[in-house]
Structure formats: C-alpha cells, structure tokens
Structure 1
Amino acid sequence: MARQPGRPTVYDVAERAGVSIATVSFTFRQPDRVRESTRDAVLVAARELGYVPNASARGLAHGRTGALGLYSFDLLLAERQRGADEADRIRDGLPPDDVDPDAETVDPRAFPLYVDEVQRGFELECWQRDQALLLTSGTGSGASVTDVAGRVDGLALFPGPTHVDTLEQVARRIPVVAFSMPDVADGLHHVTVDNQGGTRDLVEHLVGVHGIRDLGFVGRLSTPDYAERFAGFAAALGDLGLPVPAEPLDPTDLGEPGRFAALTDLLDADRLPRALVCASDQIALAVLDLLAARGVPVPERVVVTGFDGILAGRLARPTLTTVRQPMARMGRLAVEILVRHAGGAGGDRESHRLPTRLVPRQSCGCSPA
C-alpha cells in the first residue's frame, strides 16, 4: 500500500524505534502486552514524528471518520488493575492484597459526576446535528488517547493525567477541545467557566447575607479548577478584610485514601470554622456525610457549600448551596467548536470562559432553590 507523502506511518515509527510494526500496533492498542522500555521508545518515536494512529482511515479514502470523540478518565480503572495484579499474585503463589475491584465500598462520588452533565450536552448537540459520537474512557495514557484520536475527526476530553505533549501532538492532526483545563498556548481549544468569579460570589454571599467571618476551603489544589476556586476564595476574603489563608484547610482528594484527616482533627478538637467552602459538590456531599455521622448539624453549627451544581446537590439533606456551572452548555459548545474546526478549516484556536450562577439552598441557611 502506497504511503501518503509527508505523513508519518507505522513503518516510520517502527524504523525509528527499532521495533516491528506489530510492536508499534500493540503499543497503541494493547500497551499491556509491550515491555515498558519498548513502549516508551515507541511513544517517543511517535511523538517526534508527529504520528497518530488512524484506525478508521484504512476504509476511508477521504481520511475522515465522520465521528466526534469524548474522552473521560475512569478513576476505578486503578482499582480494577489492582484486582488484576492480585490475580497475578495468586497465580504466582504470593499472598493476595485483599483488594476487591467490585466491592460496594468503592465510593461512586470519587467519580467526577459533573462529567455526566457535560456529556449529556455533548450528546444532545451531536444528536441534533446527526453527528456520530464515540464515547470512551481510560487511564489517560498517551497510547489510549492517541488511539481514540485516530478514530475520530475531533476530540473533547476532561482534565486528567494525559501529558500536554500528547495532546499537542493530537491537535496537529484533529481539533481538540479541553474542558476545565488551563488556557495556555498549547494548540488546543478550551472550554471552562468563571471559577474565581463564582467562588467570589459565594464568599460574598456567606459574609454579606449570613454574617459569617470564619471560613475554610476544602479540596486539593492539584486540580486546575480547584486551584482557581481557591484563588477566588482567597481574593474575596482579602477584599472583605478577612484573614487570607495560604492553603486549604483540608487538601482532600476523594480519589485517595486518608481523606478529611484535617477536618477530622478539627472535629475532635471542636474547632471547625463556621463555614466550609468545598471545591466541588462531590466533596461537599462527602463532608455532609462526615458531619452527619458525627452529629454536627448543618447549617446550624457549620455551613457547607459546593461548586458545580450537580443534581445530587438538590437531593441532599440539607439541600446543597452551590455555584452552578453551565455543564450542558459546555458540552454543546465543544461540539460546535469541533465541527467548525474539523478538517483544519476553522481558523485560530478558540477559548471560552462561561459564566457561573450562585444557587443558595438550605446548607447555608437559605430556602431551597
């Protein structure tokens, strides 16, 4: 089969990495079958050449798949991998490590639930445009993302562990929309929300309406959205003449063990602040569970707020005060961008920061909204 001039192929990658084309194929499609050092060599060669595998192009002479992709990160894949590792340990005669990947103790709130609502907007816009859609998830490895990119004409994805070099490489071939990621000169299109402004509105409401002057922030700042929300939290406190913390009160990550260690210590010492401003609704819902288990009334003793506006916040008891981001609109906008830029005809990259809306409810002492 004749190669397209100027376009790197699997043969080019194999030659540069010093491996067979079968090894290149396995690296992108079944990376667990390739030794780590070999896999790294193949990925480096692919990145240097600007190669992205295109599974659909074999049957499409025009080089278009007719589909858009939406990629998210399955946070329980790590649990399933540990389960697979346990099977290997048993096979090798080693003691198991007591990990059950299907255990009901896995907290579903470790998943980014706002992804569901963004995805719904993405799906609705594709449906209205009669646009094919590929939904997929993975661990965020470079191989898994580039493999998906080879199957679609445009790709949207959520924040995760994928290295920016991989995304830049993919963006040279197809348009890529990044949700809720820092807008830097990376060749990607960006859709995010006014995280700082939304958190400012929330803090001003707690201080101005409820007279609260003792507030703490809960959430780890390694997530870009959370870092922006903390920046808005700190700026609002400073503008209101209140003490500005240098870091969160509790840097909890729901996806990791040992969460809420700082809050638990404060509970034990009866030193909780009057309000806990959580980086997301998911964190806030988990905080409500923690306080309920310890008999701490909300909002009478402690006010708890979130950010995102997911449906679960309306169903909580008390209902959750939050900052609503327009998640469905984010998904729809991503489709519009990908369609505009499909085939490289859309011009310069786009960056959109959508407004947020404060939604006061019972958890801060307001009536349900």
Structure 2
Amino acid sequence: MAGETTERPREGSGEPGAVRRATVYDVARAAEVSIATVSFAFRRPDSVKPSTRERVLAAARALGYAPSGAARGLAAGRTGVFGLHSFDLILDHAQALAGEFDDPVPELDLDALAADGPISFDALGEAAWPDPRAYPLYVDEVQRGFELESRRLGREVLLSRGSSSATAVADTAGRVDGLAVFPTRDAPETLRTISRTMPVVLLSAAPSEDDHHRVLVDNMGGMQTLIAHLIDDHGIRDLGFVGSIEPSDAAERFRGMGLAMAERGLTPPEAPIDSSTLAERDSLARVAELAAQRRLPRALVCTNDQLALVTMEVLRGAGLDVPTDVAVTGFDGVLAGRLSTPTLTTVRQPMESMGRIAARILADEYAAPSKGPRRYRLGTRLEIRASCGCA
C-alpha cells in the first residue's frame, strides 16, 4: 500500500547516508507473495496461512519495514487521529521575558557537544530552573486533558502550533479526523470550510453564528466572585484592570469586573490601566511607570495568571510589597501561581476538563454528527491565597 514504509539504506544512490524507504512492494517481492497478501498479513492475519504470514513477517523484519497506520487510515478516509492546534505562545512569552526578539532559542551545536562521557550541564546552556512564566501554561493543562481523553478513546493526537493562519490550520486538518483549536481570528473562513468535512471544536472562543462546537468557561461569573472577595472581604474599593481585553475571554472578565463593582456602588474602569500582553517588548510599561510614581490602585486585577506573576515582579522591582502596598490577582489557576511568592489569588478554570470535553465532542461528532453546534460553558472556582492579603 502506498505510504506504508519505513527507512532502509538506499542502494546505489551515490549519496552518503542516503536512505530509501522499504515499501510493501519490496516485502511482496522478498516473500514471493502479492502486495494484497502483505497487507492482509498485517491487517487481517487470520485470513493468511500461518506459514505464509511468517514468511511475510520475516521479509518485513529483514527489510526493516513496518506498515503505517496513518496511511491505512487515509486510504479508508480516516486517520484515527484528533488534532489540537494552538497559537504560538511559547516563543512570544519567552522572548518577552528575556527581552530578546531576534533569536530567543539558541541553536545546538551537536558536533561541539560531542564527548566520550556525559556532556556537562553548563555546556548545554540550559537554565537550572526554567521560568514558568515563559510557557503557555493554560494551553499545557488543556492539552493534557485532550490527550488523556483521546487516549481513553483509543485515538492518537496530533499537536500543532505556530501561526493561526489559514494555511497552518488547514495543514493540520488534512491529517486528522477532528480538530480542536485555541482562539484564532485569522482563519474563520478556513475553519468554516473544515467543519463541513469534520468536527471542529473551538476552545475559549466567544459564541458566534457558525457551526463550530465550543468549550467555554464562565469568565464573567468567575471574575464577579473574585471582585466580590476583594471588595466585600478586604474593603478594597480602588481597583485597576491589567491586560489586553481584545481576546474574547479577557473582554468577558473585564465586563465581569465592571458588573461586580457597579453592583456595589463603585464606578467601573472604562479601560485597563495597562493593556499589555506578554508578547510585547514593553510589557507592563504603564504599570512600572505608575508604580514608580506610587499612583497605582490598591488592587491590580490581571487578565491571567502569567501576566499577574510578571506584574508582581514589576512591583517588587519598584520597591512595592505585594499585598501590603498593592494586592494582585490572576485568572486561570496555573501551577506557577501556587509556587510564587506570595502565592497568587486567582480564579481557577477547569482546564483539564476543557481538553477532555473537546476530545469527547470530536469522538461523538465523528461517530454521529449532531444537528447543530454543541456548546458547553464550564464553571470556575475562586482560589484564595496570599497575593490579595489573605493569610
């Protein structure tokens, strides 16, 4: 079968180190059987005489050949794989934290590292403890749930990231039976086209008039609970929002903050005091400026945990104490917030469950498509820790 190959040395190629993939035709020729018999020997072994099957397997072992499950699936119109496509956050965050945007990941020189014994840790150029803020931790936890549920369903997972352009998303869709996608604004037409042939689940994307399935969280409700804690339990009445409100989930959190303040007779902010994202070179420049002038609100409500962790570092750099001088809160509930100093008060999303539900939707819809889009909005939980002033 076309595509069912593995690599073995290329004979007569004249190219050092060149390889040619052994094919089903090579195995059939070596075992003196038809290519159909080779296929049946791997796919339907009970239909092939034991002596013939053993001859086929011996030839395959000698040639270093193994059948490609993906190729078999493609031939049958299925792959047995679910895809998860995420935007490229890792490099953006790492670049912002390192202050370098040209070449944040140094190239490894394997020749220079070659040695008889173990290569020293220092020679590898690896940080002793990677900065947890440099990774898309929200994406990581959702991905874990997606992989766990896919494994339970007997499905493989194809992870892809990078540009959220039409080309990048379509390339992943061409190799899977269903696709889950983190928020993207750049490929709506492509996603609409893809959803005609396979199920598509959008994660944390605002409801819209389309046929995509969605897994969302109660951003507004979670933020209202957080603001109620700051005002009712701590008596804080001067609050500022930190972070861009362009993403739909961040916009919902900003609105939730405004509603909770208005319900308590406070004037909601018209805009964030700092609309930074971690992908910007001058992230939190306005927060740093106000901190230096000692003009910050009593509490900074950050759009996510990663921004909150960096905000606390900016405040420390300006000589301010969290939470004595300024309380800081986040949203997501990533592990790094439990390990920070002080520990981070936040709103926990059920991120692993989001990934599991997305995979389950793909499996259900692939087996029996529903008449309309399925939408699930999951609840959140307030995690009270030290950064708001609680012991």
TM-score calculated relative to the size of structure 2: 0.71
Matches within 5 A, 1:214-229: 214-229=238-253
For residues 214-264 of structure 1, give each alpha carbon's deviation from its aligned partner in whole angstroms, at most 9, with x where no partner exists: 000001011111111001011111111111111111111111111112212
Match of 1:165 among 165, 189, 192: 189
**Residues 329, 345 of structure 2: 8 Å contact kept:** yes
**2:39 maps to what in 1?**
none
Matches within 5 A, 1:28-43: none
**Residues 140, 162 of structure 1: 8 Å contact kept:** yes
Query: How far off is 1:78 after superposition?
Result: 7.3
Match of 1:275 among 299, 309, 316: 299
For residues 310-354 of structure 1, give each alpha carbon's deviation from its aligned partner in whole angstroms, at most 9, with x where no partner exists: 000000000000000000000110011001101553332100110
Match of 1:75 among 82, 89, 111: 89
**Residues 85, 180 of structure 2: 8 Å contact kept:** yes
Structure 2 residue 76 is matched with structure 1 residue 62: yes
Give, in whole Å, the separation in 1 of the partners of 2:324 and 2:317: 15
Give, in whole Å, the separation in 2 of the partners of 1:190 and 1:277: 26
Of stretches 142-151 and 345-354 in structure 1, the one that deviates more from structure 2 is 345-354
Give, in whole Å, the separation in 2 of the partners of 1:297 and 1:77: 30
Structure 1 alignment gaps of length 5 or more: 1-55, 81-96
Instruction: Give the partner amino acid of 1:66.
Output: G
**2:137 maps to what in 1?**
113
For residues 140-163 of structure 1, give each alpha carbon's deviation from its aligned partner in whole angstroms, at most 9, with x where no partner exists: 121111111011110001113432
Give, in whole Å, the separation in 2 of the partners of 1:141 and 1:59: 26
Instruction: Give the partner amino acid of 1:135.
Output: L
SS where residue 320 of structure 1 aligns?
coil
1:332–1:98 CA distance, 2 compared to 1 (3 A): closer
SS where residue 72 of structure 1 aligns?
strand
Give, in whole Å, the separation in 2 of the partners of 1:170 and 1:307: 32
Instruction: Give the partner amino acid of 2:385.
Output: R
1:57–1:168 CA distance, 2 compared to 1 (3 A): farther
Match of 2:174 among 150, 155, 164: 150
**2:97 maps to what in 1?**
none
**Residues 77, 139 of structure 1: 8 Å contact kept:** no
Match of 2:256 among 228, 232, 245: 232
**1:264 maps to what in 2?**
288
1:108–1:365 CA distance, 2 compared to 1 (3 A): closer
Of stretches 296-305 and 97-106 in structure 1, the one that deviates more from structure 2 is 97-106
For residues 236-293 of structure 1, give each alpha carbon's deviation from its aligned partner in whole angstroms, at most 9, with x where no partner exists: 1111111111111111111111111221221122111100000000000000111112
Percent identity among equivalent residues?
Answer: 51
**2:104 maps to what in 1?**
101
Query: How far off is 1:109 after superposition?
Result: 3.0
**1:129 maps to what in 2?**
153
Structure 2 residue 338 is matched with structure 1 residue 314: yes
Q: Could you say which structure has the larger radius of gyration?
A: 2
1:64–1:202 CA distance, 2 compared to 1 (3 A): same
**Residues 194, 355 of structure 1: 8 Å contact kept:** yes
Query: How far off is 1:77 after superposition?
Result: 6.0
Instruction: Give the partner amino acid of 1:214.
Output: D
**1:204 maps to what in 2?**
228
Query: How far off is 1:130 after superposition?
Result: 1.7
Give, in whole Å, the separation in 2 of the partners of 1:164 and 1:175: 14
Of stretches 246-255 and 153-162 in structure 1, the one that deviates more from structure 2 is 153-162
TM-score calculated relative to the size of structure 1: 0.76
Instruction: Give the partner amino acid of 2:359.
Output: V
1:142–1:156 CA distance, 2 compared to 1 (3 A): same
SS where residue 214 of structure 2 aligns?
strand
Instruction: Give the partner amino acid of 1:99.
Output: D
Query: How far off is 1:100 after superposition?
Result: 2.4
Instruction: Give the partner amino acid of 2:317.
Output: A
Give, in whole Å, the separation in 2 of the partners of 1:61 and 1:344: 21
Give, in whole Å, the separation in 1 of the partners of 2:188 and 2:136: 21
Match of 1:303 among 311, 327, 330: 327
**Residues 69, 136 of structure 1: 8 Å contact kept:** yes
Instruction: Give the partner amino acid of 1:62.
Output: A
**Residues 321, 363 of structure 1: 8 Å contact kept:** yes
Give, in whole Å, the separation in 2 of the partners of 1:210 and 1:246: 23
For residues 70-128 of structure 1, give each alpha carbon's deviation from its aligned partner in whole angstroms, at most 9, with x where no partner exists: 11122356799xxxxxxxxxxxxxxxx99223269997635431000011111111122
1:208–1:172 CA distance, 2 compared to 1 (3 A): same
